[in-house]
């Protein structure tokens, strides 16, 4: 399935997930490069692998169970794509890397898919190229240019004859001929997600609508079938025969039966997760879902839902027969249905895997018998912290005065560029905003430039989000953030633009800057007007008619004498009148 991110459900983590082709296994790769694989039947972790000490940035995953040729040995294989274009495969039961291919792509690997039997691995990259690799040794079987622009998503038809490519101009390509068979209409924008079956193709353009097209492989034609409406944007798509499945960024699973809804408007059946307190968001969240079983007449479908709870990752197999209804799954195992009990139910019996039941049990048994540390039912500390789902807004409520004090505090020995780079990476991985604020206090241009240049593409986006958040403040915080933000945009513009969330980040930054400078024009006019009026005043020439005012400064002794004379005058006025000589103008003559 490739990379499925859900920032609305868990803003502190960005995980890549994938089901095996038969739905038996589910792999999760954390941002810390820790890989874990669950058995969807037992709900237990059966294998894992850790690459946390490496600087490699992983972008997508794919999971498959395959049998070594000529050997009665099963391998649980997980393929990983990187931001540098490398593709590698890990035997998670043995917890080791078995091969690496560095010649697939010149840029980021955006999608990985295993064939139904696991023998082949299909890859797609941001360079528009597509490769077919051998799962056994990573050798390239073929490589061709599937798009002139960046590929956003890849899908293989169930008969493995065609591949759907979501890009600026989405299309369907023949795997044998490696040529374009049909173009998908691109009037609605760039294709973000795509899924392909033998009859239909579904494509999402980044909004809440899913466009369904009828695909005629013989005549190489594409016709519009219908448009499926979702309240929120999808994070994954899958179609099989006439069934379409999608998971929204709010954690709601949508399922449509195109055959039954054609002509009368498409009606979706929804699957929601409710927490113990009755809230959809919070402690429980959907990570992914998969169509696992359909009847021959397309009347019902079975959906495997993977969701995270406080107690860990859980799986539920839901069967839908009556379309247009809603199913609510509670983590404690209860299911509420808005419909007939016979129509909507959660299957209690276990699903059968296609022709590999004994092999799968052998893998599970082997993992349980081994003494590897990663095989445990106990959630890790990272999972427990992530399950708390702390909102970013709570962190924003931190006392502003304390943050300003941190920023304005003097530092006797400022750290070097190397140490600042290490501190920034630690703060980004731990989501420690206080440590990041301490780092951006350093205003040395050389330290800033070197620290920014050493960041990986994933760290660049995280730091960009932090800067956009901090620049909404005022005072010392903004003064410290601006030099770092300017250096980040100048040095890492390609990494920022290549990320899917860059458009929303840059729009938010533009709107914030525009609102801050909106008063600049009026302030400039006011300043110019004041300057103009002051230039009319000539300080060298005084108005002749204006009265001359003198200010006489008296010392303390003179002030005391003056106050004493005033008191005596008051006493005399209060008593009898005293005749005194006067001038002709009436002023008194003071005698010695």
Work out the pLDDT band at 45, boundaries 50, 70, 90: very high
Angle at 7 between CA 3 and CA 10, to 5 degrees: 105
Q: Report the C-alpha gap between 314 and 247 in whole angstroms.
A: 16
CA distances (Å), origin 420, targets 402, 435, 456, 525, 543? 22, 10, 15, 43, 64
Q: Between residues 574 and 34, which one has the greater pLDDT?
A: 34
The model's pLDDT over 506-525, given as tens digits with 9 standing for 90+, comes to 888 888 777 777 777 788 88
Q: What is the pLDDT of residue 368?
A: 46
223 beta partners: 214
Q: What is the pLDDT of residue 370?
A: 43
Contact 210, 204 (CB under 8 A): yes
Work out the pLDDT band at 88, boundaries 50, 70, 90: very high
The model's pLDDT over 106-140, given as tens digits with 9 standing for 90+, comes to 989 999 999 988 999 999 999 999 999 999 999 99
Q: What is the pLDDT of residue 59?
A: 92
Question: What are the residues whose beta carbons fall under 8 Å from the beta carbon of 10, sequence distance 6 or more?
Answer: 285, 308, 386, 389
Q: What is the pLDDT of residue 100?
A: 94
Work out the pLDDT band at 28, boundaries 50, 70, 90: very high
Q: What is the pLDDT of residue 455?
A: 84
Residue-by-residue DSSP string for 81-126: EETTS-EEEEETTTTEEEEEE-SS-SS-EEEEEE-TTSSEEEEEET
Mean pLDDT of the chain: 75
Residue-by-residue DSSP string for 383-416: HHHHHT---HHHHHTS-HHHHHHHHHS--SS---
Q: What is the pLDDT of residue 561?
A: 56
- State the DSSP code for 209: E
The mean per-residue pLDDT over the stretch 421-449 comes to 83
Strand residues in 310-430 grouped as ranges (E)? 312-320, 326-329, 335-337, 344-346
Q: In angstroms, how far is the first alpha carbon of the chain from the final one?
A: 114
The answer on pLDDT for 312 being more than 90 is: no
Tell me which H or E stretch contains 484.
helix 476-491
The answer on pLDDT for 12 being more than 50 is: no
Angle of the 476-491 helix axis to the 457-470 helix axis, nearest 10:
150
Tell me which H or E stretch contains 567.
helix 556-574
Which of 135-144, 326-335, 540-549 shows the lowest mean pLDDT across its residues? 540-549
pLDDT over 90 for what percent of the chain? 20
Q: Report the C-alpha gap between 84 and 559 in whole angstroms.
A: 87
Largest distance between two CA atoms of the chain: 142
Which of 77-81, 210-214, 309-313, 577-581 shows the lowest mean pLDDT across its residues? 577-581
Q: What is the pLDDT of residue 110?
A: 94
Q: What is the pLDDT of residue 378?
A: 55
Angle at 546 between CA 542 and CA 547, to 5 degrees: 120
Work out the pLDDT band at 342, boundaries 50, 70, 90: very low
CA atoms in the 13 A half-sphere facing the CB of 416: 2
The model's pLDDT over 542-567, given as tens digits with 9 standing for 90+, comes to 455 556 565 565 555 555 555 555 55
Lookup: tokens for 100: 């690496």
Q: What is the pLDDT of residue 584?
A: 44
Query: How many residues are present in the chain?
Result: 592
The answer on pLDDT for 3 being more than 50 is: no
Q: What is the pLDDT of residue 355?
A: 46
Q: Between residues 151 and 321, which one has the greater pLDDT?
A: 151
Contact 98, 90 (CB under 8 A): yes
Q: How many CB atoms lie within 10 A of CB 298?
A: 15
pLDDT over 70 for what percent of the chain? 67
The model's pLDDT over 368-417, given as tens digits with 9 standing for 90+, comes to 444 443 444 455 555 555 555 444 444 444 555 555 555 454 344 455 55
Of 317-321, 365-369, 411-415, 442-446, which one has max mean pLDDT? Answer: 317-321
Q: What is the pLDDT of residue 395?
A: 46
Q: What is the pLDDT of residue 450?
A: 84
Q: Between residues 361 and 591, which one has the greater pLDDT?
A: 361
The model's pLDDT over 242-301, given as tens digits with 9 standing for 90+, comes to 889 999 888 899 998 887 654 445 678 899 887 655 444 445 678 899 998 776 666 778
The mean per-residue pLDDT over the stretch 534-542 comes to 57
Q: What is the pLDDT of residue 61?
A: 95
């Amino acid at each position: 399935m490739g990379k499925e991110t859900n920032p609305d459900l868990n803003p502190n983590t960005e995980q890549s997930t994938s089901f095996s082709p038969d739905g038996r296994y589910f792999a999760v790769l954390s941002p810390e490069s820790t890989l874990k694989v669950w058995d969807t039947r037992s709900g237990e972790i059966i294998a894992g692998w850790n690459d946390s000490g490496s600087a490699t940035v992983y972008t997508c995953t794919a999971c498959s169970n395959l049998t070594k040729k000529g050997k009665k040995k099963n391998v649980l294989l997980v393929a990983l794509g990187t931001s540098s274009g490398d593709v590698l495969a890990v035997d998670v039961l043995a917890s080791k890397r078995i091969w690496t291919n560095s010649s697939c792509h010149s840029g980021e690997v955006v999608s990985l898919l295993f064939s139904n039997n696991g023998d082949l691995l299909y890859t797609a990259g941001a360079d528009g190229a597509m490769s077919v690799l051998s799962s056994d040794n990573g050798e390239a079987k073929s490589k061709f240019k599937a798009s002139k622009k960046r590929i956003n998503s890849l899908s293989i038809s169930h008969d493995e004859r065609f591949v759907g490519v979501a890009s600026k101009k989405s299309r369907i390509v023949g795997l044998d001929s490696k040529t374009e068979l049909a173009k998908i209409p691109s009037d609605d924008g760039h294709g973000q997600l795509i899924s392909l079956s033998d009859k239909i193709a579904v494509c999402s353009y980044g909004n809440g609508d899913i466009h369904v097209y009828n695909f005629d492989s013989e005549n190489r034609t594409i016709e519009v079938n219908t448009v499926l409406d979702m309240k929120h944007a999808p994070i994954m798509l899958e179609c099989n025969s006439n069934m379409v499945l999608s998971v929204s960024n709010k954690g709601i699973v949508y399922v449509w039966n195109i055959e039954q809804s054609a002509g009368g408007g498409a009606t979706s059946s929804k699957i929601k997760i409710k927490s113990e307190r009755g809230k959809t968001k919070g402690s429980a969240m959907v990570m992914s879902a998969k169509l696992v079983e359909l009847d021959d007449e397309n009347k019902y479908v079975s959906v495997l839902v993977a969701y995270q709870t406080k107690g860990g990752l859980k799986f539920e197999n839901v069967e839908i027969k009556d379309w247009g209804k809603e199913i609510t799954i509670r983590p404690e195992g209860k299911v509420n249905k808005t419909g007939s009990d016979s129509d909507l139910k959660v299957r209690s019996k276990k699903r059968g895997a296609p022709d590999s039941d004994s092999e799968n049990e052998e893998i599970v048994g082997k993992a349980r018998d081994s003494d590897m540390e990663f095989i445990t039912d106990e959630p890790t500390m990272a999972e427990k912290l992530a399950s708390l789902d702390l909102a970013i807004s709570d962190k924003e409520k931190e006392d502003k005065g304390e943050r300003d004090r941190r920023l304005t505090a003097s530092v006797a020995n400022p750290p070097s560029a190397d140490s600042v780079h290490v501190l920034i990476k630690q703060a980004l991985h731990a989501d420690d905003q206080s440590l990041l604020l301490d780092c951006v206090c350093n205003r040395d241009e050389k330290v800033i430039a070197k620290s920014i240049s050493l960041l990986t593409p994933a760290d660049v986006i995280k730091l960009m989000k932090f800067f956009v958040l901090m620049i909404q403040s005022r005072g010392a915080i903004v003064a410290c953030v601006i030099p770092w933000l300017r250096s980040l945009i100048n040095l890492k513009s390609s990494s920022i633009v290549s990320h899917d969330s860059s458009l929303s980040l840059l729009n938010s930054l533009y709107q914030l800057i525009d609102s801050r400078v909106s008063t600049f024009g009026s302030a400039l006019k006011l300043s110019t007007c004041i300057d103009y009026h002051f230039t009319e005043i000539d300080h060298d020439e005084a108005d002749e008619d204006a009265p001359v005012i003198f200010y006489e400064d008296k010392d303390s002794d003179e002030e005391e004498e003056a106050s004493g004379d005033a008191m005596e005058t008051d006493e005399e006025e209060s008593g009898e009148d005293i005749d005194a000589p006067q001038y002709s103008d009436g002023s008194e003559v003071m005698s010695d």
